[in-house]
Structure 1
Amino acid sequence: MRKNVIVIGGGSSGLMAACTAAEKGASVTLLEKNPNLGKKLILTGGGRCNVTNNRPEEEIIAHIPGNGRFLHSAFNQFSQYDIMHYFTSRGIALKEEDHGRMFPVTDKARTILEAFIDELKRRNVQVQTKATVERINYENGKIVGVTLDDGTVIPADSVVLATGGKTYSRTGSTGDGYRFAKYVGHTITELYPTESPITSSEPFITERVLKGLSLRDVALSVRNKKGKTVVSHQMDMIFTHFGVSGPAALRCSMFVHQTKKRDKVDEVTMALDVFPNSSIGQVEQDLQRLIRETPDKNVKNGWKDLMPERYLLFGLEQAGIDPDQTLKSLQPKDIKEFAQFAKAFTFTANGTLPLDKAFVTGGGVSTKEVNPKTMESKRQPGLYFCGELLDYNGYTGGYNITGAFVTGHTAGMHAAVD
């Protein structure tokens, strides 16, 4: 018998779930509260839509540090290579950029959205926009449909929740799915912003000493209260008026929250290394070589090629060195102090920007209560989850959207055939 499947949410995972359920023979209704589908999808990848990542599965899982292993079974059914084929087989050429990131050749996220819309039409999916689901209806423990806020009742044999997390609330991600999940007894793990700029109340931040300064290919680390490195990312970063941002900071952000919670502290220590490919001994040798080569130059000119001028002057101040003194007047302790600054300038972070300013929601529907092979609820037969609603999260670079497409495909397929 042909199943009636309702997919709630017309974002990345919901679009994939609806198309897949229809492809597997179900009669599908896709409900989206916004006037248009894919409102958040067209913002992804800077409006270009980084559809997936061309790295091996294990590497992709490693780049989903929040419960990424939960996705193994789903990857076995629909992998990153299947995602690429899904779009190329529908006439969309893809290209690979740095770090394995895959984009449509058009450089337009709308190209991906239009492919889904075409597929929805081809598969006769009933799409209702401006449709807010009030509740999911149950009879004798079984799903029988949903009721919209205008009182409309739509029958269903199974429901796929693809409502997203709580980031970008302006796109409609307001956490409705958590309410539906809680109603049938699901645990919602603590929600927190990830891939979010990091905040700090250090004087050099609040006084905007380094605001707007970008640093290339540096290592930014989060340390625990014992001084051990929790995580380190070697990428670009930028100082802001509230803290630090850029790729390195975004990747460290979830660990700021986790370390604060684990160590029961209000602030965590960050460490910044501007010479991540050199040891501190090598840095000291480089400083001494520059002193030998131009002993009569003042420090700010003699060392000006080491790093951006503002960071150099800031570092000299941190090390107690007068930027106008000559290189030959520097003492061994001065060189050691500055090398230490270059390799491990430490500052405190007190958190991140809130969920609404984050790229990704951490936390969500507990993965322990969801069947990883089908994405079906272990609490309520016929209820399926996919995308950011689930408690997994990855770094930017095509990892989160890969998770959305993989879980969306798995949920849509099993909602249709199981």
Structure 2
Amino acid sequence: MVKPFYDVIVVGAGSSGLMAAIQAAQQGVSVLLIEKNKRPGRKLLLSGGGRCNVTNRTTRDELIKHIPGNGKFLYSALNQFNQEDIIDFFESQGVALKEEDHGRMFPVTDSARTILDTLLDNCRDLSVDLLTEATVETVIFSEDKSKIAGVQLTTKEIIEAKSVVLAVGGRAYPRTGATGDGYAWAKKAGHTIARLYPTEAPLLSDDEMIVTQALKGVSLRDVNVTVWDAEGKAIVSHLMDMIFTHFGYSGPAILRCSGHVNQYLFESGADRCHLSIDLQPSLTTDALEAIAESQRDKQILTILKQWMPERMAEVILSQLNITATTPFKQLEHEWRAALWSRIKGFAITSIGSQPIEKGFVTGGGVNTKEIEPSSMESKLMPGLFFCGELMDINGYTGGYNITAAFVTGTIAGRHAAWASMG
């Protein structure tokens, strides 16, 4: 049964909220975890393709590098709880983890349910009260508005608390319950919200090959995708896979570039962003020439097919007006140079990404300059804490966002508990 008063209330039972509730309860205080869905952890169950990539076993600097949205804000928190601590937490609960490519850590069961059940079991063992199918209408303050006082539900029921942790996520994946409610509550406490934008979202394009569907469904392996600014300076590059779609571009390399594309379009006011694809990043122009020359009697299309899918090669040859059946030895020097240039920098453009609701991560959020990095407490409203995607922090897929969620949830939960004791 829910009581009218708790030491700590955590709003949102996702990755960061569950961890916040556990860490607060471990300090010996009373904790209420409120979730508006029927069941907690809906987005967590979808993470890592349903397997839940719990963290990334990499160096701290690499971790920060892979959280392009204010990752440096996490340095102080990581001094208190880091990736190895996440691993230790789950392994101490009997969850066997395994390391896959690029440092990604998964449960051996390959099931996100294992991770969610572990977190819920912890909450139960620590006597955290869980209130589901309950929607918070707003946060409430003391009479003089000098500190947090609790929350009010849409039923008008008021539950008081010494500390409140907001862990309600952003606006990505609304079907998991993330509808951006927390931004209004943060504003009520005096916070500003950094512009929201989609990250980890497929890119839209009106390039000719997209409009004609010439490359629809073509996948490219281990290509280097670069985002360029108007002056021809590289903004970011990612060496991963990608795919051509009926609306534009997708796949890991593209998803990692998407937030940068959206930021560039907004900040520059441009109507499109230029990108390029290095189709053979492991080979130099000279190496391409040497390999082709060693097969000079073969048709040019046959040679290109060893480096890329046939339809990709056909589009490149069409763009350069080179006949596919031409033997390589008949290709003039200038055409060879143009061909290598195209392979090392195939140009594409984007007019933006799919909307924030179709992205997996929200860019923007509660301004981190208004949050104490060592405790996740509001600098403007004592007793109010933030964690997870509600804040202006976003990372790439690969265990980075959930790491930020577990880390900030841990710090917010602990400090919220300690503040309630004061």
Q: Shared fold by TM > 0.5?
A: yes
Q: How many angstroms apart in 1 are the aligned matches of 2:263 and 2:374?
A: 28
User: Which runs of 5 or more residues in structure 2 are unaligned?
Assistant: none
RMSD (CA atoms): 1.2
Alpha-carbon distance, 1:289 to partner: 2.4
| 1:405–1:320 CA distance, 2 compared to 1 (3 A) | same
Under a length normalisation based on structure 2, what TM-score does the superposition of the two structures give?
Answer: 0.96
Matching residue of 1:61: 64
Q: Which residue of 2 aligns with 1:224?
A: 229
The whole-number CA distance in structure 2 between the counterparts of 1:380 and 1:218 is 47
Q: Tell me how far apart the structure 2 counterparts of residues 310 and 223 of structure 1 sit (CA, whole Å).
A: 25
Q: 1:18 maps to what in 2?
A: 21
Aligned to 2:271: 266
3-state SS in 2 of match to 1:290 = coil
The corresponding residue for 2:388 is 387
Q: Match of 1:147?
A: 152
Match of 1:131 in 2: 134
How far 1:283 moved relative to its partner?
2.0
Mapped partners of 1:417, 1:132: distance in 2: 26
Per mean C-alpha deviation after superposition, the further-off stretch among 303-312 and 42-51 is 303-312
Shift of 1:30: 0.2
Partner of 1:319: 320
Q: After superposition, what is the alpha-carbon deviation per residue over 1:35-88, rounded to whole angstroms, capped at 9, x for unaligned?
A: 000011000000000000111111111110111000011111111000001100
Displacement of 1:225 in angstroms is 0.5
Q: 1:97 aligns with which of 95, 100, 105?
A: 100
Amino acid at match of 1:207: T
Gaps of 5+ in 1: none
8 Å CA contact 2:18–2:119 kept in 1: the answer is yes
How far residue 147 of structure 1 moved from its aligned partner, in angstroms, is 1.1
Determine whether 1:39 maps to 2:42: yes
What whole-Å deviation, never above 9, does each CA across 1:211-267 have from its counterpart, x for those lacking one?
111111100010000111111111111111111111100111111012222322010
Aligned match for 1:29, one of 28, 32, 50: 32
Q: Is 1:77 aligned to 2:77, yes or no? A: no
What is the rounded CA distance, in whole Å, between the counterparts of 2:288 and 2:231 in structure 1?
26
Q: Contact (CA 8 Å) 2:166, 2:387: kept in 1 or not?
A: yes
CA deviations 1:306-350 (Å, max 9, x no partner) are 221111111111221001222222111121111111001112111
The 5-angstrom pairing of residues 354-373 of structure 1 reads: 354-373=355-374
CA distance in 1, matches of 2:398, 2:302: 38
Measure the CA separation in 1 of the matches of 2:292 and 2:148.
70
Query: How far did 1:144 drift?
Result: 1.8
Instruction: Determine if contact 2:292/2:303 at 8 Å carries over to the other structure.
Output: no
Q: Residue 105 of structure 2 aligns to which amino acid in structure 1?
A: M
Identical counterparts, % of pairs: 53
Alpha-carbon distance in 2 for matches of 1:60, 1:226 = 29
Query: Which secondary structure state, in structure 1, belongs to the residue aligned with residue 237 of structure 2?
Result: strand
> Which amino acid in the other structure matches residue 346 of structure 1?
A
- Structure 2 counterpart of 1:6: 9
Residue in 2 that maps onto 1:344: 345
**Segment drifting more, 380-389 vs 311-320:** 311-320
The one-letter code sitting in structure 1 at the alignment partner of 2:54 is V
Alignment of 1:198-213 (within 5 A): 198-213=203-218
In the alignment, is the contact (CA less than 8 A) between 1:318 and 1:341 conserved in 2? no
Kept in 2, the 8 Å contact 1:186–1:369? The answer is: yes
SS at match of 2:79: helix
SS at match of 1:402: helix
1:3: Cα distance to partner? Answer: 6.3
Runs of 4 or more consecutive aligned structure 1 residues displaced over 3 Å after TM superposition: none
2:241 equivalent in structure 1: 236
Query: Aligned pair count?
Result: 413
- State the Cα distance separating 1:290 from its structure 2 match: 2.0
- The TM-score normalised by the length of structure 1 is 0.97
Please give the alpha-carbon distance, in whole angstroms, between the structure 2 residues aligned to 1:14 and 1:409.
9
Contact 1:290 1:303 in 2 (8 A): no
Q: Which amino acid aligns with 2:79?
A: N
Does the 8 Å contact 1:159/1:382 carry over to 2? yes
Q: Is the contact made by 1:3 and 1:416 (CA closer than 8 Å) also made in structure 2?
A: no
Alpha-carbon contact 2:262-2:352 (below 8 Å) kept: yes
Task: Map 1:116-195; keep pairs closer than 5 Å.
Answer: 116-139=119-142, 140=144, 141-195=146-200
Moved more, 337-346 or 401-410: 337-346
Please give the alpha-carbon distance, in whole angstroms, between the structure 2 residues aligned to 1:106 and 1:398. 17
More off after superposition, 297-306 vs 18-27: 297-306
Structure 1 residues 182-235: Cα deviation after superposition (integer angstroms, max 9, x where no partner):
111101000001011111111211211101111111000100001111111111
Retained in 2: the 8 A contact 1:287–1:335? no
Change (3 A) 1:298 1:280: closer
Could you tell me how far apart the structure 1 residues matched to 2:202 and 2:303 are?
Answer: 34
Cα separation, partners in 2 of 1:390 and 1:302, compared to 1, 3 Å: closer
CA–CA distance in structure 2, aligned partners of residues 356 and 3 of structure 1 = 34
Structure 2: distance between partners of 1:359 and 1:302: 39
Partner of 2:400: 399
Aligned residue identity for 1:21: A
8 Å Cα contact 2:152-2:158 kept in structure 1: yes
